[in-house]
Amino acid sequence: MKFENMFTPVTIGSVTVKNRFVVPPMGNNFANGDGTLSDRSKDYYEARAKGGFGLVTVEATVIDKTAKGGTKKALSL
Ligand SMILES: Cc1cc2nc3c(=O)[nH]c(=O)nc-3n(C[C@H](O)[C@H](O)[C@H](O)COP(=O)(O)O)c2cc1C
């Protein structure tokens, strides 16, 4: 099989990931307007974990209201 290492575990520091498939960070704009995780966000990440990815990277989080990106929702911290 080509790329068979993709299906083998890899250890990164103290964490062992079951395969080499990684979801990179992607801006999905599913968070709530106040920056908290929404049910839609949870469903989105859960679907990718159930799909078999070894590692799922979440998108950016807002550390200050002036740092908010995106255009869909206003931040009201
Ligand atoms: C917070 C964050 C959000 C991102 N959002 C997107 C995105 O919406 N679409 C996209 O193509 N890449 C996005 N990227 C970049 C991807 O994670 C990735 O680095 C890029 O697609 C290049 O992938 P490659 O190195 O495998 O070619 C984002 C990166 C970060 C850090």
Residue 5 lies in a domain: no
The DSSP 8-state label assigned to residue 3 in this structure reads T
Domain that holds residue 51: 21-75
For residue 9, being part of any structural domain is answered with no
pLDDT at 77 over 50: no
Asked if residue 74 has pLDDT above 60, the reply is no
Answer yes or no: is 3 within a domain.
no
Q: Is the pTM of this model over 0.75?
A: yes
Count of domains forming the chain? 1
| Any ligand 1 atom below 6 A from CB of 60 | yes
Render pLDDT for 4-52 as a digit per residue (tens, 0 to 9).
999 999 999 999 999 999 999 998 888 887 778 899 999 999 999 999 9
In a domain, 64, yes or no: yes
Residue type, 15: V
Pocket test for ligand 1, best of 26, 48, 55 (most atoms within 8 A of CB): 26
Q: What angle do CA 48, 54, 59 make, to 5 degrees?
A: 55
User: Does 45 fall in a domain?
Assistant: yes
Q: Is the CB of 77 under 6 A from ligand 1?
A: no
Q: What is the pLDDT of residue 43?
A: 96
